[in-house]
Amino acid sequence: MNIFKPNILVITPVLHISGICKALEAIGNVTYMDDPDLSDVLDVIGDYDAVYTNPNKSKVFIGRDVIDAGKKLKVICTASTGTNHIDKLYASEKKIPILSLTEERQVIDRISSTAELAFALTMAAIRQIMLGHNAVIEGEWDYTRYIGRQMNCLTVGVIGYGRLGSLYAGYCNAFGSKVLVYDPYKRVERDDITKVDNLDNLLMLSDIVSLHVHVTDETIEMIDSSKINLMKDDVVLINTSRGDIINEYHLVEFLRKNKNAKVATDVLADEIRNRQNSPLLKYARESSQVIITPHIGGMTKEAQEIAYGHAVSRLSMFFANYIARDL
């Protein structure tokens, strides 16, 4: 009797991650496409039982076109907590399960890399590290243009107090900042961190505002002009969650009017399908007010080994159960 071996299409770079290829190839027949375009995936997806992905580098939104072309597709596996690079509703309609890390608490609780990046972006912004570095490379040696701020003199507003928000809040607290938290769904069980019930108050009081929320109907563009214009004119806004949380058009308008305000972000609105048209990316090309990193929050050696490895384990279990049902 022939044992079914699934064909797995990997559309995210994994060759550099220890043990991942070996684990994938133990499941089935694997094809690696490090950085394909949508057309590349559409050309071949019909031959595959599974697609293994991650949103951080991908240009491919797994939507109706991909799912419809995947005539044999049985499962979508993503090595991420976020799933806004997948049309979840359409996948559900087609009865194609999505394996993600969203609810894998024992796994993701071991990963602190995105919160650490949020803090690094905070420090880079308030100490003007990138501008100072670039000036030195160009031959300048003058501190007067790069006078920064001190964390223990600043109020930090944290929006979202889940795993990453609570870690980030702890880092800022350890540096002596006054930390305010807004999250209607979480309790703050620390005497040295203050929970506020009104988001507007947090925005008005904070020198630094950091976003740590999931993309939902409630949070898409939650930071629009009505919220942005409450912020201080020299605010530092940090975003390592998702770009769609912010209305970038409104944010750029605010930055143009408030030249001492800064944004440091690891994400852009609609970054999978349309990031080159991001208003914030375009503004960053003309202004030193913006720092952008290419969605590297979870991209540490340790985080990738944990997250990608567990995603492969879930995929292995899925096909083990699939084969068992057919025997």
CATH at residue 93 = 3.40.50.720
Active site residues: 242, 271, 295
| Whether residue 88 is found in the same domain as residue 172 | no
| Residue where the block lists tokens 């007010």 | 289
pLDDT at 59: 86
Burial (CB < 10 A; 0-12, 13-18, 19+), residue 108, is: buried
61, 87 in Cβ contact below 8 A? yes
Write the CA distances from 164 to 117, 158, 160, 167, 170, integer angstroms. 10, 10, 8, 5, 10
pLDDT at 2: 66
pLDDT tens, residue order, the chain (327 aa): 567 899 999 999 999 999 999 999 999 999 999 889 999 999 999 999 999 999 887 889 999 999 999 999 999 999 998 898 999 999 999 999 999 998 888 888 999 999 999 999 999 999 999 999 999 999 999 999 999 999 999 999 999 999 999 999 999 999 999 999 999 999 999 999 999 999 999 999 999 999 999 989 999 999 999 999 999 999 999 999 999 999 999 999 999 999 999 999 999 999 988 999 999 999 999 999 999 999 999 999 999 999 999 999 999 999 999 887 765
123, 168 in Cβ contact below 8 A? no
| Whether residue 51 is found in the same domain as residue 97 | yes
Containing structural domain, residue 69: 7-104+301-326
pLDDT at 19: 95
| Whether residue 52 is found in the same domain as residue 192 | no
Taking only the tens place, the pLDDT of each residue in 58-95 is 889 999 999 999 999 999 999 998 898 999 999 999 99
| Whether residue 183 is found in the same domain as residue 312 | no
User: Would residue 2 count as lying in a domain?
Assistant: no
| Whether residue 177 is found in the same domain as residue 313 | no
User: Would residue 151 count as lying in a domain?
Assistant: yes
pLDDT at 169: 98
Q: Would you state the torsion angle of the CA atoms of residues 265, 270, 271, 274, taken in this order, to the nearest 10 degrees?
A: -130
| Whether residue 259 is found in the same domain as residue 283 | yes
| Whether residue 174 is found in the same domain as residue 281 | yes
The rounded radius of gyration (Å) of the Cα atoms in the chain is: 22
- Structural domains in the chain (count): 2
User: Would residue 66 count as lying in a domain?
Assistant: yes
User: How many other C-beta atoms are found inside a 10 Å radius of the C-beta of residue 278?
Assistant: 20
